[in-house]
Amino acid sequence: MSAQDQSDSNQQMVYVVDDDLSARESLCWLLGTEGIANRAFASAEACLEHWSSDWSGCITVDVRMPGKSGLQLQEELNSRHNLLPVIVLTGHADVPIAIRAMKLGAYDFLEKPYSDRELLACVKTALKLGREIDHAEREKNRAEIAIANLTDREREVMCLVVEGNTNKVVAAQLGISEKTVEVHRSRVMEKTEASSLSGLVRICLMLNEKL
C-alpha cells in the first residue's frame, strides 16, 4: 500500500473519477473549499488500481469515459464488495444509463450541468451514509471476531438463549446442569461484550447467516 493509499484509509474522502481534467480539477477545488478531502483519478482503471477495501467516504464517477465506463467501474467495484456510496455524474443523454447504475446500487445520480449547491448537498449526504456504513461494518467485524472466539458449547447455549429459552430449558436440551448453562451464558456475554439479552440478540441478528 502506498503512502497515499495508507492516508486514504485513515479518513473520509471523496474519490473523483473523471477523464475530463477541467471537470476533475473543478470538482476537487469545490470540495476543497468545503474542507472535504478528495482524491482524483483520470480513469476507471486508475481508480481500480488503487482501490482498497479500507477506503472511507464516497465515490463520484462520470458515466462516459475512455476505457471502462462509469457503469463498468461500478460493476467491478460491486464484484469487489465496495461499500462506499457511488454518485453517478451524467449528461442528459446518459440518464437511462445512470438509471441502470442506480439499479446496480448507486447512491444517486446528478445530471449535468448541476449546481455547486446540489453537488455538495449530495456529497455530504453520501459521506454521512458512508460513516454509518463504516460504523455498521466495524460493529459487524467486532461481532464476527467475538462469535469466532466462542467455544462450540458456548455457541450452542447462545443460540438457544436468543431463541427465548430459559436456562432450565437450555440445560434440558443440552443435557447439562442449569449452573453450567449460567457459566456458559456469562462467558458468552463477556466475550461478545453484550450488556443485555437484547444486545446479544442484536449481535446474532447481525450475523444471522453465520449462526
Nearest Cα residue to 45 out of 12, 16, 78, 69? 69
58-90 tens-digit pLDDT:
999 999 999 999 999 999 999 999 999 999 998
Q: What integer pLDDT is reported at residue 96 of this predicted model?
A: 85
CATH of domain 149-210: 1.10.10.10
- Nearest Cα to 145, choosing from 206, 83, 56? 206
Quote the mean pLDDT of the chain: 90
In angstroms, the Cα distances linking 153 to 123, 146, 149, 192 are: 47, 14, 11, 15
Amino acid 35 reads G
Work out the average pLDDT over 107-123. Answer: 93
> CATH class for domain 3-134?
alpha beta
Cβ-based neighbour number of residue 200 at 10 Å: 19
Average pLDDT over residues 151-161: 93
pLDDT in tens, 136-151: 888 888 888 889 999 9
53, three cell numbers? 477495501
Cell 458468552 -> residue: 188
Using the predicted structure, report yes or no on whether residue 154 has a pLDDT greater than 70. Answer: yes
**Comparing 48-62, 81-95, 113-127, which segment has the lowest mean pLDDT?**
81-95
Decide if 108 contacts 128 (C-beta within 8 A).
Answer: no
142: which residues sit within 8 A by CB, 6+ positions away? Answer: 193
Q: Where are the domains of the chain?
A: 3-134, 149-210
Residue 209 pLDDT > 50: no
Q: Look up the pTM and report it.
A: 0.73
